[in-house]
Structure 1
């Protein structure tokens, strides 16, 4: 597991457990601040699931009772967790010494990680802010 992910886990005080069989890839249990991940999924899927569930821990730990209150709240929280996961996946990618922003393709990133294409604007926004922050705006503009 990446050191940045371990640091996030420590900062959030989340316990992570791997179970042999779940009804989904993972769950966040707010009342005990624990992420449970299905141990049968691939290592890459485990990282993506962990980041998604850490998104719930980061953004929803104190108001998780709302999750099942209404479909709109459930959908909003899932979307926020997914965007958190996407942002963290990109952060892990851009710190890779072999990463070349000039060859980054938003759709390819989404498809290779099996993420819904509706998140294309989220990826573009994050990459744009990353490139501007690192004086690379000429790559996208």
Structure 2
């Protein structure tokens, strides 16, 4: 998807862990993050979500704080969905899943608990359809 949209990933000594800059069409990731670090993966997923969901919507991002927060929430939902899919692919669902431990291990804020539960429910439904 990134190559289709001509998005480049740029590494550098940035103050933020990562950000998507629509005017340059780049995702910027801090060199302070180790590429094998869990935070690198989470940050990358969040920024890819902005590309996926908010491509060519930079004006809306700057329009109001409400619009910006909505877009940030959408990017977090995308990140959570990806992390849950990866978890289910690796560990399955035939055991009790401690979502609070999952949230803690993936730096997911407590206010996103509903999104985590929803993502796991989607994965359970997919498995039951198969």
Which TM class, normalised by the smaller chain length? 0.7 to 0.9
1:14 CA drift (Å) = 2.4
TM-score w.r.t. the length of structure 1 is 0.81
Question: Match of 2:98?
Answer: 105
The answer to whether the Cα contact below 8 Å between 1:15 and 1:34 also exists between their aligned partners in 2 is: yes
**DSSP-derived class of the 2:62 partner:** coil
Question: Match of 1:139?
Answer: none
1:89 CA drift (Å) = 1.2
- The number of aligned residues is 126
Structure 2, unmatched stretches of 5+, are none
The answer to whether the Cα contact below 8 Å between 1:12 and 1:58 also exists between their aligned partners in 2 is: no
Structure 2: how far apart are the matches of 1:83 and 1:48? 12
C-alpha RMSD of matched pairs (Å):
1.7
Cα pair distance change 1:70/1:116, threshold 3 Å: same
Q: Does 1:116 align with 2:126?
A: no
Question: Match of 2:46?
Answer: 52
The answer to whether the Cα contact below 8 Å between 2:33 and 2:39 also exists between their aligned partners in 1 is: yes
Question: Match of 2:84?
Answer: 90
Q: Does 1:67 align with 2:61?
A: yes
Structure 1: how far apart are the matches of 2:78 and 2:102? 15
**DSSP-derived class of the 1:40 partner:** coil
TM-score w.r.t. the length of structure 2 is 0.87
Q: Give the structure, 1 or 2, with the largest relative contact order (CA under 8 Å, sep 6 or more).
A: 2
The answer to whether the Cα contact below 8 Å between 2:80 and 2:119 also exists between their aligned partners in 1 is: no
Moved over 3 A (4+): 8-13
